[in-house]
Amino acid sequence: KESLLRALALAPELERTHYLLGVTYEHLEEWDAAIDEFRYLSLNHPEHASYQLILARLLEKTHAYDEAQALYRRIVETDNADPAILARYGKVLTKCHQWAEAGIAYERALDINTEYHKAHYALFLLYLRKGMVRSALREFIHSGMYAHSSLVVFILSTVFIAVVILALKVFFWHLN
């Protein structure tokens, strides 16, 4: 870190030094300093979208959701071809309690890649929060999470037991 600061003092316009310093601050978990470096890079080198993505991720990590949301919005307006970015944008919108916009972001991610499981799972949670159970179950199945969920095993086991009990009751009722 110290050698990068010295190099920056000698040549403050060097893009690579700012980048390396920002990454170093991030690894040291000096979030404010890392954000400052990537904010500088985003402003002075807007042609590199990766700087804006790193800045948005850092802002998200530090719970600066409003600023992260505005940055993600600009990114997806110019380049919406990446479902992972749209899903991260949806996550930030969810943190800002903007449910409808989050749903749109997740759906846009799925328009690009219908097999993007993270977007399906995020929509599952969003629909569940809104009480849209049928839509939530559809997204849960598409997410692939059902294969790993003990809740689903419990629900399916309970339904199976209930069906067996009902079948036995009907059987014994017909015997009487």
**pLDDT, tens digit, for every residue of 41-63?**
998 988 888 898 999 999 999 99
Confidence of residue 127 (pLDDT cuts 50, 70, 90): confident
pLDDT the model gives residue 152 = 61
pTM of the model: 0.70
Q: How far is CA 35 from CA 59, 64, 69, 102, 139, in A?
A: 7, 11, 15, 24, 35
**pLDDT recorded at residue 69:** 92
Per-residue pLDDT tens over the stretch 138-166: 777 777 665 555 566 666 667 777 777 88
What is the rounded CA–CA span in Å between residue 44 and residue 42?
Answer: 6
